[in-house]
Each structure stands twice: as structure tokens, then as C-alpha cells.
Amino acid sequence: MLKAIVLGAGLVAASAAMPAHAASYMKDYCDNQVYFPSTAEPHLHCDKSWIVYTAVGHSHKDLIRGDQVRCPAIREVLTTHTAGAIHDSVQRMSNDYRC
């Protein structure tokens, strides 16, 4: 019985280290805006359950869709944006999901 309790506690600790599906990605990473920081490209197109990066020229890159976090795409956006609102938001995603 003690092993089961220890194992259960370990699973709780491990899952607490990685955030669960966010209550609202739009709220957490986009200041509750559909287009962050503005509608001008580049921007993040945000919803409560996904975030897409839109580059100048309207090419898209999924960053988060549901519970799937796309770390290679997040790292690629960070190499493009080394400062500013997009960088800061995507850096938080990277930190939260250990990309």
C-alpha cells in the first residue's frame, strides 16, 4: 500500500511540473486578444484552445493545438523574434512547456 501512495504522489508531482491544457491559451499568452499584439502581421492568432503564428505574407505555423505543443515551431518563432511582445509571449510558452 505504501508503494502505491509513493507512486501516486510521484505521478502528481510529475504532472504538476508540466502545465495541463491551459484554461485559455488566449488569456494566458495573448492578453485575451484574438490577434496579438495586433491584426498586423506578424502576429499570434489566438483562441482558448490553440495558438497559430502568422508571419508577414500570411504563412501560418501551429504553436499549440489542444494538448499538443509544437516545440520545434515555438523555437523557430523565437529565432525570428528576439525581442518584443511576440517574443515575450512565445518565450513564456517555451518556458511553461520546456521546449
Contacts of 35 (CB under 8 A, 6+ apart): 43, 44, 45, 46
Q: What is the mean pLDDT of the chain?
A: 84
Q: Is the per-residue pLDDT at 17 higher than 70?
A: no
Q: Are 42 and 53 in contact (CB under 8 A)?
A: yes
- Helix, strand, or coil here: 89? helix
Output the pLDDT for position 76: 96
Residue 58 or 18, more confident: 58
Distance CA 80, CA 49 (A): 24
Q: Is the per-residue pLDDT at 29 higher than 50?
A: yes
Q: Is the per-residue pLDDT at 5 higher than 80?
A: no
The reported pTM is: 0.77
Report in angstroms the alpha-carbon separations of 11 from 8, 16, 46, 66. 5, 8, 31, 22
